[in-house]
A and B are shown apart, each in its own frame.
Chain A
Amino acid sequence: MGLRGEAAIVGVAQYENERRYAGEKNFFTEQFAELTRLALNDAGLHKDDIDGLCCTAIRETNMFAPATLAEYLGIHVNFAEIVDLGGATPVGMIWRAAAAIELGICQAVICATPARPVPSNPNPPAIDHSRVFGSTSNNWGSPQAEFDVPYGNVAQNAGYAMIANRYASLYGYDERALAKIAAQQRTNALANPLAVFRNAPITIDDVLASKMIADPLHVLEIVMPCAGGSAVLLANKALAAKSRNRPVYVTGFGEHLTTKSTTYQPDMVQSPVGPAADSAFTMAGKKPADIQMVQPYDCYTVTVMLTLEDAGFCSKGDGANFIQDHNLTYQGDFPCNTGGGQLGAGQAGLAGGMTQVIEGAIQVMGRAEERQVKHHDNALVTGTGGIMSEQSAIILEGA
């Protein structure tokens, strides 16, 4: 079952993550085009090599996003996919692109996540009340509008806080271990020139002294929204051989979804990372101990701890001990979110999850400069959407 490992990441592009973007504003179509140009240049490939695309929803149209983008870029594709998995979207894009390449329908697929502000509309439409609660729909008829929103369980903080409190009641809660994730990832961010917090080291005590947002989550355990954008170009073996980068093959993937709201998860502390990671490991013929670095989705510190447990790096309930026993920096014995993750680099919309994909890819390519991990032949990358309720995982391996 699954991938043979014949589709590779060959080029990447990343805008700097910026809390206050002051540059030229462009539409998502325009950002997608420019990110594609940058990723092609990075790979040393040509526009006409691209025959597939994966995108997110774009601001300029509610429908026909892939066709709108193909037309705008002037590319004719055999595969066009809009992926809607929240934070799991980028990892979901990568395996879909790899699958399209292995099926032989594409030779190169561009996956891009624009996330800079768009130009201000001179004729602004009325406020869209269906979107006032962000990722929680307030459309009439949506279960969220009726059974989440009236009680204030909107957006993400409350849901992740409840996961953490449920976990605490079952297994205890070592807040210093959780804070260590934020502090050590921040150390990694200091070596990432694109990170929002590249000049701001923090300690475990700083994290625990930061404002409480929703018990037990402190503000420094929660991602900072920012502007940015990224793209990843995948190609078949023939094109990968022409690329100027070490090809990074996608050798395994998994995906698993349960609910939108964490309220209805079968078990709030057993995340769908488990089945997604199991599938990725089985497909790649690897086990957790074989993995040289992890790039786990990190909207919150607790997301990382549950991901490490459910992916099998330690047993359920032992996550805090595992974190305390390991050094998570790029120089450490368990390199984790070596570019700072989203906690250290910032979360640029749906490009946030691409941060982890690109960090895994450039580490395996050997291009991570100051933060280069010593052993860099493989990486596990995960994506988390919903409230820890939709998951994708991939395993990347260098040629």
Chain B
Amino acid sequence: MEMSRPLPVATPTTEPFWDGVRNHKILLQQCNDCTKWVFYPRTNCPHCLSNQLTWREVPGDATIYSFTIARRPTAPHFADEIPQLIAVVELAQGVRMNTNIVNAEPADLQVGLALKPIFKTIKDATLLCFEPVK
């Protein structure tokens, strides 16, 4: 059986983020009370539990916090993607997220590498990926 790549299904809370990504924009939540940035999207700030969060567009400049190159698929669904360039990136706002690095060779990846966002559409979903700043 062919297993297709799993794609995100937005929830009422996370929908603005995925809508933004579909329109090639990065929207993050910022807490009105403690001013910290929040990712992934939530109803309550994980720093102070405030429920007053505001969506703001950010440029998306980021660096690699860590990465791995999966030589074997992390699940059968990713068998066509080998090697998988999986990374955790840190945005300028201090939040971290999982992503895939594109337009790069495995040997290019290193902690601290400067990245910019790139939007990758698969079927009817769009994923937020990153590529090295040339």
Contacts and interface: CB of A to CB of B under 8 A. Distances in A.
B81 interface: yes
B9 A140 contact: yes
Contact of B70 (A141, A145, A158, A165): A158
Interface residues of A, number: 37
Contacts of B97: 147, 263
Nearest to B122: A150
B68 interface: yes
A268 B100 CA distance: 18
Interface in B1-56: 5-11, 14, 40
Interface string A132-160: 11000010110101111111111101100
B93 interface: no
A213 interface: yes
Q: Is the interface of B mostly helix, strand, loop or mixed?
A: mixed
Contacts of B100: 151-152
B99 A151 contact: yes
Nearest to A213: B72
Given A141-B11, A146-B8, A146-B9, A169 B40 contact: no
Given A152-B81, A165-B111, A166-B111, A263 B88 contact: yes
B114 interface: no
Contacts of B71: 211-215
A133 B69 CA distance: 19
A365 to B, nearest CB: 40
A315 B106 CA distance: 31
Task: With a 10 A CB-CB cut-off, give which of B66, B84, B96, B97 has the most chain A CB atoms.
Answer: B66
A146 B10 contact: yes
Contacts of B8: 145-147, 149-150
B72 A214 contact: yes
A301 interface: no
Q: 8 shortest A-B CB distances, which residue pairs? A: A161-B68, A169-B111, A166-B66, A162-B66, A151-B98, A215-B69, A214-B68, A214-B70
6 contacts: A145-B8, A152-B75, A153-B86, A154-B75, A214-B71, A215-B69
Interface of A: 132-133, 138, 140-141, 143, 145-155, 157-158, 161-163, 165-166, 168-169, 211-215, 217, 261-264, 268
